Structure 1
Amino acid sequence: MSQQPGADGHESSGQQSPGVPPAPPPDQYGQYGQYGTPPPPAPDQYGQYGTPPPPAPDQYGQYGQYGQYGTPPPPAPDQYGQYGQYGQPPGTGGYYGAGFVPVPSAVQPGIVPLRPLTLGEIYDGAFRAIRSNPMVMFGLAIIVVGVGAIVQLGFTAAFVGRIERAAQAGVADVDAFFSVGTFAGLLLSSAAVSLATLILEGLAIISVSESVIGRKVSLGEVWRRARGRLWRLVALSLLLGAAGIAAVAAATVAVVGLSVALVEAGGDNWALLFVLVPVLFLALLVLLAFIAVRTMFAPCTIMLEGTGVFASIARSWRLTKGHFWRLFGIMLLTVVLVGILVSILSVPFSMVGTIFATDGFMVPLVLSSIGQLVGSALSIPVMAAVLALLYVDVRMRKEGLDVELARAAQAG
C-alpha cells in the first residue's frame, strides 16, 4: 500500500488530483476514508469502517447468519423452536420437501389459525363453527334430533301407558307389557335417534371443515356432499358397535367362567374373585377406550376424504398413532364438560315435570323429552366440531395440512 501523507507534512509517492483537498489525517489504523468525504467513524469492534455493526449474535453464536452485515436479525423462535412457522426460507425444502413455500404463522382465514392448535383454540373454534354457520350446526341439530325425539316419545308413551294399565289390572297381568312388539318399538325408536345423531355428526364435520378456511356452506350443499357417504358412516357405526358388544360379551363370559371355576375349587377363593372381577372389567374399559380413540377419526375420513369403512379405520389408526394420550384427554374432558352442560340445561325441565307428576305421566315425559332435545341439539354439534378440529389439528401436525388449507383459502 502506498504511504499516505502524514501529520509531519511529508507527501506520498502517489499523485494527487489537482483541486482535491488533502485527505484527513490518518486514524490509529492508518486508514483513510475517500477523498472529499468526511472522516470515517471510529472503527467498531470488527475493525470495519462505514458499515453498521452486525446484529447481536443469535443462538448459534453466529453474526449475521441470515444475511450480510446490516440485515435485520431473524424473528424470535416460536414455541416449536423454529424461525417463522416452519423454520425454512422459501425454496430450501425442509420439513415439507423441496420447493415448499411457507405460509405466515398468523394465517387464520376461518375459525382457527392454520397451525397446530392448543386446547383453548380447539374449544374456541368449536363454538365459532356453530356461530359461523348456525343453520347447519344448530338449526339442523334441532330438526334432526327433534324428529328422532318425537318418534322415541311416541313409543315411550305407549310403553309407559301399557305399564300403567297392566299395573291397574293386577299383578297377574303386569307381564303383559313385556311383549315383543313393545320392546321392538323402543329398540327402533332408540335406533332412529342414534341414526339421526350419526347423520348430524357427519353433516357437522363437513360444515366445520369449510369453516376452517373461512367458507360458509349452505344446508343443501352439505347434504349434496354427504348423502353419498352417509351409508358408509352407518356401516362404520354398526361395525364398531358390534365389535364393542362382542368385547363386552367376551369379557362377561370370561368373568362368569372364572367365577364358576373359583367357586368349584372351594377354599378361600372368594377374596380372589372380588379382586379379579373388577380388574377384568377395568381392563375391558381400557380396551374399549383405546379402540374408541384409535378409531375416532374414521367418521372424519369417510366424510372428508371419501374412504371406505375399513380404509377409514386404518386411516384413523395411522393418524392417531403417537397422539393417543392427548386425544384421549381432550375427548374425555369434552365429554365431561358437555355432560355437565346438558345436565344444567335439563334441570329446569325436570323440575317442572316433577310439579305435574301427580297429574299423570304424559306431561313429565314430554318435558323430559324437550330437555333431552335441547341438550342433544347443543352437545352433538359441539362434539362433532371438536372431533373435526382435532382431525384437522393432527393432520396439520403430521401431514402439513395447514399449507393445503392456506392455499385453498386463497384460491376460494
Structure 2
Amino acid sequence: MNDSPGWATPGSTPSDGERPGTDGGAQQPSTPPAQPEQPARPEQPEQPAQPEQPEQPAGDPKWSAEQPPPGQWSSPGQSPEAPPAQPQPAAGWGQQPAGPYGGQYGPQHGYPGGPGQWGPPPAAKPGVIPLRPLGLGEILDGAVATMRTHWRSVLPITLVVATLVQVISVILQKFMLDDLTVATSEDVSTEEMIDTLGSTLATSAVVQFIQVLGTIVVTAMLTMVFSRAVLGQQSSVSDAWRESRPQLLRLIGLTLLLAFGAILLGAVLILPGILADSIGLGIVGFLVWLPLLIWLGVRFSLASPALMLEKSTVLKAFARSSKLVKDTWWRIFGITLLTSVLAFFISMMIVAPFQFIGIIVFGGGLESMEAGSDMGNWGMLVVPAIGLIIAQTIVMPFQSGVTVLLYVDQRIRREGLDLELARAAGLENYGTTGG
C-alpha cells in the first residue's frame, strides 16, 4: 500500500510525527518521503519547488492546515475544501433512508410488513382468520380452511345429517309418488291434473321441510365449530352438540318464523290479485314481494349466529342482525349472493351426473321420464340421493361458515370483537402495546 499522505485507509489516523503544525512536523526533513514522485508529473509544472515546502506549509497542495477528522480522508487530487460526503436529502415517499446498510432498509428502519415497520403491525391470526376486518377472499378462505383443518368435526356432522335427510326423503317420495303418473293425452280430466299437481306439491313440501330441519341442526352445530376455529381451537362432534343443544329449539323457532313471515308477506301482496282474478295485480304484488323478501332476508341473515353465539332469544337475535347489517346491506347481500351462486354450481356439478345415471340406468331413458312413468322407481330415487348427500356434505358447511364469519366480521368492525377474541385465544395485552 502507498504510505504517502492522502492514501490512508478511511478511518485510519496518521502518526503524530506526520501531522503539520506539530513539533514533529517542524522537525521534518526538507525532502518528504513522497518528494521523488512530484517531478515526474508533467501536468503540474506550476507547482513550487519542493525544497520551499518547509517554509510555506500553508500552500502545500498535499497538506492542508486543517485536516478532516479521522475516517473522512479524501483521495489524492481531491480539493481539500470539498466535503468528503454530500449530505443526503430527507427520505420521502418511495425513497430509502440513508443508513449503515447502503441506503437499504435496515433493522432500525424496518420494511413494510416486517419487524420495525411503519404503521400498525400485522393482525394476530390464532385461527382461520386474522383478527381484523375481513375482505371477501378472507371470508371465503376462512370457511374453506375450517372445512379442511377441522374436517374431523365438520365432515361427520354434515355427512350424518345429510344421509338421514335423504333416507327419509327417499322413503317418503317412494310411497307418495309410487302410483303417480303424468298423463300426456289431451283427454285428461281437470280432476286428474289437480290431483297430480297436488301430490307433487305435497311431496315437495314435506321433503323441503325435512331439508330445513336438517339444515337447522347442521347450522347449529357448525356455528360452534366455526366459533372455535376462529380462536384456533379444536371442537369435537360431542362438544358441538353439547354447546348447540340449549339453543336448538330457539333456532327452529327462528327459522319457522322467517318462513311464516315470507309466506304471510306473499299472501298479503299476491293473494288479492288472485282473488280478484287480475293477472296484472298479481304480477305487481309479486314484483313488490320478491325484492322486499330479499331485503328482509339479508337484514336478518345474521340472526342465526347471533342467536347461537350470544345465547339470546329469537326477537333479540332479529334485532342484533338488523343492527349489524345496518349501513352494510349491499356488501352482505353481495357476499351472500356470491356464496349462493358458488354453492349452486358446486351442487349441480355433483348431482347432475348421478341424476343422469339414474335416468339412463333405472328410469328407462328420457322417453320414460317424459311420459312420467317409473317416477317411484327405487333406482331413480336412490342414485340422485347419493349425489345430494355428497353435495350437501360440501355445500352446507361452506354456506354456514360464510354466515358465521360475516357475523364475526361485522362485530369486529362495529364492536371491536377482535380484542375479546384475542383474549379468548390467550393473546395477552393484545391491542394495548401495538401488537
Q: Unaligned regions of 5+ residues in structure 1, if any?
A: 1-8, 10-36, 42-51, 60-70, 86-103, 261-272
**Alignment match, 2:135:** 118
Instruction: Report the number of matched residues.
Output: 333
- Equivalent AA in structure 2 for residue 372 of structure 1: L
**Alignment match, 2:302:** 297
- Equivalent AA in structure 1 for residue 312 of structure 2: T
**Alignment match, 1:194:** 212
**Alignment match, 1:213:** 231
Q: Is the 8 A contact 2:133 2:413 kept in 1?
A: yes
- Equivalent AA in structure 1 for residue 413 of structure 2: R
Structure 2 residue 150 is matched with structure 1 residue 144: no
Alpha-carbon deviation of 1:395? 1.0
Alpha-carbon deviation of 1:175? 8.7
Q: Secondary structure of the equivalent of 1:206?
A: helix
Alpha-carbon deviation of 1:405? 1.3
- Equivalent AA in structure 2 for residue 313 of structure 1: F
**Alignment match, 1:234:** 252
Task: Give the % identical residues.
Answer: 32
Alpha-carbon deviation of 1:146? 0.9
- Give the Cα–Cα distance (whole angstroms) in 2 for the partners of residues 396 and 173 of structure 1: 58
Alpha-carbon deviation of 1:305? 0.8
Give the one of 355, 360, 364 matched to 2:380. Answer: 364
- Give the Cα–Cα distance (whole angstroms) in 2 for the partners of residues 186 and 255 of structure 1: 25
Q: Describe the shift of the 1:133–1:180 C-alpha distance in structure 2 as closer, same or farther (beyond 3 A).
A: same
Alpha-carbon deviation of 1:160? 1.5
Q: Is the 8 A contact 2:166 2:385 kept in 1?
A: yes
Farther-moved stretch of structure 1 (317-326 vs 360-369): 360-369
**Alignment match, 1:248:** 266
Give the one of 348, 354, 361 matched to 1:349. Answer: 354
Q: Describe the shift of the 1:180–1:164 C-alpha distance in structure 2 as closer, same or farther (beyond 3 A).
A: closer
Alpha-carbon deviation of 1:277? 5.1
Alpha-carbon deviation of 1:365? 1.2
- Equivalent AA in structure 1 for residue 296 of structure 2: I
- Give the Cα–Cα distance (whole angstroms) in 2 for the partners of residues 279 and 310 of structure 1: 31
- Give the Cα–Cα distance (whole angstroms) in 2 for the partners of residues 173 and 250 of structure 1: 28
Q: Is the 8 A contact 2:222 2:400 kept in 1?
A: yes
Q: Is the 8 A contact 2:156 2:237 kept in 1?
A: no
**Alignment match, 1:56:** 91
Give the one of 143, 147, 155 matched to 2:172. Answer: 155
Alpha-carbon deviation of 1:258? 6.8
Q: Is the 8 A contact 1:159 1:177 kept in 2?
A: no
- Equivalent AA in structure 1 for residue 151 of structure 2: P
Q: Is the 8 A contact 2:223 2:308 kept in 1?
A: yes
Mark the structure with the bigger radius of gyration.
Answer: 2
Q: Is the 8 A contact 1:77 1:84 kept in 2?
A: no
Structure 2 residue 389 is matched with structure 1 residue 373: yes
Q: Is the 8 A contact 1:55 1:72 kept in 2?
A: no
Structure 2 residue 325 is matched with structure 1 residue 320: yes
User: 1:357-405 CA deviation, whole Å, 9 max, x = no partner?
Assistant: 1294221111122222222221111100010111111111111111221
User: 1:276-301 CA deviation, whole Å, 9 max, x = no partner?
Assistant: 65454232111111111111111101
- Give the Cα–Cα distance (whole angstroms) in 2 for the partners of residues 405 and 245 of structure 1: 38
Q: Unaligned regions of 5+ residues in structure 2, if any?
A: 1-20, 22-68, 74-86, 95-106, 369-373, 429-435
Alpha-carbon deviation of 1:72? 5.2
Q: Is the 8 A contact 2:298 2:332 kept in 1?
A: yes
